[in-house]
Chain A
Amino acid sequence: MSEIVSHQPRGISLQRINAMVLRYWYLLMSSWPRLLELVYWPALQIITWGFLQNYISQASGFFAKAGGTLIGAVILWDILFRGQLGFSISFLEEMWARNLGNLMMSPLKPIEFLLSLMIMSLIRLAIGVIPMTLLALFFFGFNFYAIGLPLIAFFCNLIFTSWSVGVFASGLVLRNGLGAESIVWTLMFAVMPLACIYYPVEVLPVWLQYVAWTLPPTYVFEGMRSLLIDHVFRADLMAWALVINAILFVASFAVFLALLQSAKRNGSLLGGGE
């Protein structure tokens, strides 16, 4: 080996993960539209839904009692959705830049690549959601952080789901090229009606309730309503969500690796077009 190259560990390399995070950081910092977009949509969401919550809480005794459930749900949904987008958009940046071949030819391993995308999803999420929570506090007096420790359980479960969906969607784009890009933007919305973000699970037909309970976000949103309305933290719901998340997470990795192999068989790694 060339003398200018350091010895590399056989396992996961933090240096390579750092390099990829730095790559996305450079990109974010070089583009104010990208930064603005991170803040713009969450801000718009919270303002729109916040005023709606204000309006219906004046007209409905239930919503007056369940103050903040709508705003809380909007913020948690954004963690789920923006977490996945943060992951997938960083991946798409490589496809748009036609840089995937360079990365795949470098010593960067798929697991390191995915870990760097997860870190970037957290960074992008922080840039978008923290201002959103401050707007909720400023405009509507809803202190998201007053949820306290349960917030950590909500956040962890939602971010794990978002990564699983992100890994799966990225694998599909990797295999099928940018023609499959719309999956990245729309896949999470398939979860939306069943995750019962704005309404309790009992609203669904009984058979659909079984489907809903297979999705980790359902447990989180039920847990949030339980906390905000009944002031009870349902640790059992969070534990179930964690178990399902662990299964989803492993499955999404396995699917990603299978799609990567398929892309190598198909010869689509160097192209990456439509």
Chain B
Amino acid sequence: MQQRGTGQAQAPAANQAPAANQAPAADQDGSAAIDVAHLVKVYKTTRAVDDISFRIARGSITGLLGGNGAGKTTTIAMIMGLVLPTSGSVTVLGAKIPDQRYDVLGRMNFESPYVDMPMRLTVRQNLTIFGRLYAVKHLRERIEQLAADLDLKEFLDRSNGKLSAGQKTRVALAKALINEPDLLLLDEPTASLDPDTADWVRQHLETYRKTHNATILLASHNMLEVERLCDRVIIMKRGKIEDDDSPEGIMARYNRDTLEEVFLDVARGRLREGAPEGTP
């Protein structure tokens, strides 16, 4: 764990022992779904992302944790090719981002609270448009299937603007799943959902990962969600990687019972077990 907590570039997969019943931190054969190397993003004088490196294995669920301004959204945006890195490289599903992003965009999808679906259009119209953009075959059937899976049937023909926040989140998730992506990037996927619906969405994501061997990278403030869903957690603070391991591994290292306690330790600069003095 010598590099942990420094936020320096690292290849966590190589130097971490995967926790029992966890997927490996990254592919051993070099075919990671996401490969981020020495990624830096500087906005004017702010280093939003500061030399981070990680690889994410295909078929895994990885949580990106961190407080506001930690660099999670910028990192995800660079993985998607919506923000250009200042330096470093991103490879997604074997394609260099941003140069080759159109080769793999059809195999990816995302959901974020920073974007909305058009409000005046009905749920069905929105899904039809995105289905066509992603060239989904048998689109009508696909929409019906998603509506059944995500419990959207009763408001398929209602305009998006007339839905509750929770219903909108489910519609956004339906859009994110419309092309059955190999890689799903989620920013706060269960924000504004009641606990029952949030749990149900998590279950759906778990099932989707298992049935499609999909890779999921999610940024979240919901520690229980991350504990339950993720094989691996990357904790970010001020643009650097603060820690990177399985949820169990991280909790053990901080000698804590929950990720929430770990999160508070990290946010408030408390030391983890065995960390040398002066380590953030």
Chain A residues near B (Cβ < 8 Å): 1-8, 10, 13, 15-16, 18-20, 22-23, 26-27, 30-31, 93, 97-109, 261, 264-267, 269-271
Asked if residues A19 and B132 are in contact (CB atoms below 8 Å), the reply is yes
List residues of chain B with CB within 8 A of the CB of A99.
Answer: 115-118
CB of B155 closer than 8 Å to a CB of A: no
One of A1, A4, A104, A271 near B138 (C-beta < 8 A): A4
Question: CB within 8 Å of A: which of B109-135?
Answer: 109-110, 112, 114-121, 125, 128-130, 132-135
If A1-B106, A107-B102 touch, whether A270 touches B114 (CB-CB below 8 Å) is yes
Provide a sorted-by-A list of 11 A–B residue pairs whose CB atoms are within 8 angstroms: A2-B179, A5-B106, A5-B137, A7-B135, A15-B132, A22-B129, A97-B119, A99-B117, A101-B82, A101-B115, A270-B114
| B114 contacts across to A, CB distance below 8 A | 98, 101, 270-271
Whether the pair A23, B106 counts as a contact (CB closer than 8 A) is: no
Which residues of B lie under 8 Å from residue A22 when comparing CB positions?
Answer: 128-129, 132
Closest beta carbon of chain B to A23's beta carbon, Å: 5
- Segment at the A interface, from B9-17, B28-36, B59-67, B73-81: B73-81
- Residues of chain B with a CB closer than 8 A to A267's CB: 41, 43, 48, 74, 77, 83
Q: Which of A7, A100, A266 contacts B115 (CB 8 A)?
A: A100
Residue of B nearest to A30 (CB): B120
Known: A4-B142, A97-B118. A270 touches B84 (CB 8 A): no
Q: Which residue of B lies closest to A6 (CB)?
A: B135
Q: Complex formed: what's the CA distance from A31 to B48 in Å?
A: 41
A7 to B106, CA, bound (A): 10
Within the complex, which residue of B110, B116, B125, B136 is in contact with A4, where a contact is CB–CB below 8 Å?
B136
Residues 14-54 of B at the A interface (beta carbon under 8 Å)? 41, 43, 48
In the bound complex, residues from chain B placing their C-beta under 8 Å from that of A93 are 118
Q: Which of A5, A101, A107, A266 makes the CB contact (< 8 A) with B180?
A: A5
User: For residue B43, which residues in chain A have a CB less than 8 angstroms away from its CB?
Assistant: 266-267
Give the distance in Å from the alpha carbon of A9 to the alpha carbon of B30 in the complex.
28
Lowest 9 CB-CB distances: which A-B pairs, in order? A19-B132, A101-B115, A2-B180, A6-B135, A98-B116, A106-B133, A97-B118, A270-B114, A264-B84
Q: Are A27 and B118 in contact (CB under 8 A)?
A: yes
Please tell me if the beta carbons of B134 and A107 are within 8 angstroms of each other in the complex.
Answer: yes
Question: Do A105 and B102 contact each other (CB < 8 Å), given the known contacts A5-B135, A5-B136?
Answer: no
What's the minimum C-beta distance from A201 to chain B, rounded to whole angstroms?
44
A99 to B110, CA, bound (A): 12
> In the complex the two chains form, is A5's CB within 8 Å of B82's CB?
no
Tell yes or no: B5 within 8 A of A by CB: no
Q: Shortest CB–CB separation between residue B153 and chain A, in angstroms?
A: 20
Further pairs besides A5-B106, A27-B120: 19, Cβ < 8 Å:
A2-B107, A4-B180, A6-B135, A16-B135, A19-B129, A19-B130, A20-B129, A22-B129, A23-B125, A99-B117, A101-B82, A101-B115, A102-B175, A103-B133, A107-B105, A264-B81, A267-B41, A267-B74, A271-B114
- A104: chain B residues at CB < 8 Å are 82
Tell yes or no: B108 within 8 A of A by CB. yes
Q: Indicate whether A4 sits within 8 Å of B179 (C-beta atoms), given known contacts A19-B132, A266-B43, A270-B115.
A: yes
Task: Determine if B120 and A270 form an interchain contact, defined as CB atoms under 8 angstroms apart.
Answer: no
- Scoring B102, B106, B107 by chain A CB atoms within 10 A of each residue's CB, the highest score goes to B106
Q: Are A1 and B107 in contact (CB under 8 A)?
A: yes
Q: Taking the complex as formed, is B159 at the interface, i.e. its CB lies under 8 A from any CB of chain A?
A: yes
A100 / chain B contacts, CB cutoff of 8 Å: 115
Chain A residues with Cβ below 8 Å from B128 are 22
Answer whether residue B280 sits at the interface, using C-beta atoms and an 8 A cutoff. no
Most chain B C-beta atoms within 10 Å of own C-beta, residue among A2, A104, A265, A271: A2
B166 at interface by CB-CB < 8 Å: no
Q: B107 to A106, Cβ gap below 8 A?
A: no
B73 near A270 with CB under 8 A, answer yes
Asked if B181 lies at the interface with its beta carbon under 8 angstroms from chain A, I say yes
Known A99-B115, A267-B74; contact A2-B182, beta-carbon cutoff 8 A:
yes
CB distance from A98 to the nearest CB of B (A): 4
In the assembled complex, the Cα of A48 lies from the Cα of B165 at a distance in Å of: 47
Task: Tell whether, in the assembled complex, residue A106 and residue B134 are in contact, meaning their CB atoms are under 8 Å apart.
Answer: yes
Mask, B72-102, CB within 8 Å of A = 1, is 0110010011111000000000000010001
Residues of A contacting B48 in the complex (Cβ-Cβ under 8 angstroms): 267
A104 to B138, CA, bound (A): 24
Quick one: which of B98, B106, B112, B181 contacts A270, CB cutoff 8 A?
B112
Q: Is the CB of A23 within 8 A of B118?
A: yes
Q: B112 contacts which chain A residues (CB < 8 A)? A: 101, 270
Note all chain A residues with C-beta closer than 8 A to B118.
23, 27, 93, 97, 99
* Given A101-B114, A271-B114: A18 and B132 interface contact (C-beta under 8 Å): yes
A26 to B129, CA, bound (A): 10
| Contact A105/B159 with A264-B83, A267-B83 known, Cβ cut-off 8 Å | no
Looking at B106, B114, B135, the one whose CB has the most chain A CB atoms below 10 A away is B135
Residue among A6, A30, A108, A270 making CB contact with B159, cutoff 8 Å: A30
Q: How far is the CB of B210 from chain A (nearest CB, A)?
A: 15
